């Protein structure tokens, strides 16, 4: 079976007028992330990793922020559509490993719900999805609480014909 690896990264600044959505889960906090969609860095990083693994471009090509259809859209919908694009090109997600860079709030209590959402959007078992978080030890834009970033590594496999 043919496997491919993709890497994704996304970052969004904090905004006082938005909800904090990570992995499709609303996290109680006094700030959210600014962006055209719901600015879910987890879903965006995973989508870019998926598209990269299949050499299908990036999230901005498929879901441009110039398109009003994507204004405030749930990134879980974008992730599900990314998976559909992947499947139409003869591949399926094998596994996902994601690291979220966030100083505050602490989010480990939300991992199970994030994994459930991602599992449903990508149509893979929960035990093939890993989510972790780390701080930046008060260094850089994450450490200064200016925003949140996420990294994702994804493997995809050819769909058996």
pLDDT band at 9 (very low <50, low <70, confident <90, very high): very high
Q: What is the pLDDT at residue 1?
A: 63
Q: Which domains does the chain have, with CATH numbers?
A: 3-158 (3.30.1330.50)
Question: What's the whole-number mean pLDDT along residues 104-126?
Answer: 97
Q: What is the pLDDT at residue 2?
A: 82
Question: What's the whole-number mean pLDDT along residues 39-43?
Answer: 98
Q: What is the pLDDT at residue 78?
A: 97
Indicate the average pLDDT of the chain: 96
Q: What is the pLDDT at residue 160?
A: 79
Residues facing residue 95 across a β-bridge = 155
* DSSP collapsed to 3 states, the chain: CCEEEEEEEEEEEEECCCCEEECCEEECCCCEECCCCCCCHHHHHHHHHHHHHCCCCCHHHHCCCCCHHHCCCCHHHHHHHHHHHHHHCCEEEEEEEEEEECCCCCCHHHHHHHHHHHHHHHCCCHHHEEEEEECCCCCHHHHCCCEEEEEEEEEEEECCC
Q: What is the pLDDT at residue 14?
A: 97
Task: Give the orientation angle of helix 41-53 with respect to helix 75-88, to 10 degrees.
Answer: 10
Query: What radius of gyration do the chain's Cα atoms show?
Result: 15
- Tell me the pLDDT tens digit for each residue of 56-105: 999 999 999 999 999 999 999 999 999 999 999 999 999 999 999 999 99
- Tell me the pLDDT tens digit for each residue of 143-161: 999 999 999 999 999 997 7
pLDDT band at 119 (very low <50, low <70, confident <90, very high): very high
Question: What's the whole-number mean pLDDT along residues 37-58?
Answer: 97
Cα dist from 127 to 90, 94, 121, 140, 156, whole Å:
23, 11, 14, 32, 15
Question: What's the whole-number mean pLDDT along residues 25-41?
Answer: 96
Q: What is the pLDDT at residue 143?
A: 95
Q: What percent of the chain has pLDDT over 90?
A: 96
Q: Is the pLDDT of residue 141 over 80?
A: yes
Q: How far apart are the first and last CA of the chain?
A: 11
User: What does the block give as tokens for 98?
Assistant: 């994601």
């Amino acid at each position: 079976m043919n496997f491919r690896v993709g890497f994704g990264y996304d970052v969004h600044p904090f905004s006082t007028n938005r909800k904090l959505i990570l992995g499709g889960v609303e996290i109680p906090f006094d700030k959210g992330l600014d962006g055209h969609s719901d600015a879910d860095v987890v879903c965006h990083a995973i989508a870019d990793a998926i598209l990269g693994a299949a050499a299908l471009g990036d999230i901005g090509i498929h879901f441009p922020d110039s398109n009003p259809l994507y204004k405030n859209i749930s990134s879980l919908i974008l992730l599900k559509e990314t998976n559909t694009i992947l499947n139409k090109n003869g591949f399926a997600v094998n596994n996902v490993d994601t690291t979220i860079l966030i100083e505050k709030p602490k989010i480990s209590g939300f991992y199970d719900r994030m994994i459930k959402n991602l599992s449903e959007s990508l149509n893979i078992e929960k035990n093939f999805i890993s989510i972790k978080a780390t701080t930046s030890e008060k260094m850089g834009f994450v450490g200064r609480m200016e925003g949140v970033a996420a990294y994702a590594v994804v493997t995809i496999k050819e769909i058996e014909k």
